[in-house]
Amino acid sequence: MADKVILTKAGKEELERELRELIDNTREEVKRQLTEARAQGDLSENADYDAARNRQAEVEGRIKEIENILSNAEIIDDESKSKKGGNKVTLGSTVTIKFVETGKEGKYMIVGTVESDPFNNKISNASPLGEALIGKVVGDVIDVKGPKKVYKVEVLKIGA
């Protein structure tokens, strides 16, 4: 049996949108490219055909990957946590923290590994920071074991 994949409601909706786009548009575009490449003749030395076949494999692989993720998804209730705020950091929480050493603040949403997007401040519950924040409350100062050193963060706010 496959492992459960943790997703927020928004993450699930984004994957469903991507799946629809791949099935409805991208797959059809790749089929058209294959047809055009076949029409060029000799397939043994046809770079366009090879490229279209590679793209087809990528698209079909991604479709299967998303279908697998969605079939094993456990949806967490992130919206109510973000709106109400909570007293503890959990999956789906939005957390404002202060890096003690630098004084800089950051706002992060704790999500499952599939949705993780550090560039958009969505950090995985399995990342060092995400793991350290789970279960903490406002005012907690915690040690985070980063790849090169341990650093301290303080939980300033839980919620939007």
Q: Residue 82 belongs to a domain with what CATH number?
A: 3.10.50.30
Domain at 53, CATH number: 1.10.287.180
Residues 119, 123: Cα–Cα separation, whole Å: 9
Q: Do 58 and 95 have their domain in common?
A: no
Domain of residue 42, residue span: 5-75
Final residue before a domain boundary, out of 55, 75, 95 = 75
40-64: burial string, b at 16+ Cβ within 10 Å, e else: eeeeeeeeebeebbeebeebeeebe
Closest C-alpha to 9, from 87, 112, 117:
112
The residue among 159, 143, 140 whose CA lies nearest residue 151 is 143
Considering the domain architecture, whether residues 51 and 83 belong to the same structural domain is answered as no
Give the end of a domain, one of 45, 75, 105.
75
Q: How many CA atoms lie within 13 A of 127 on its CB side?
A: 19
With 60 as the cut, is the pLDDT of residue 1 above it?
no
Number of domains in the chain: 2
**Rounded-to-integer distance, Cα 134 and Cα 136, Å:** 6
pLDDT digits (tens, 9 = 90+) for 104-122: 999 999 998 899 999 999 9
Residues 119, 55 share a domain: no
pLDDT for position 79: 52
pLDDT in tens, 96-106: 999 999 999 99
Say if residue 47 is in the same domain as residue 101: no
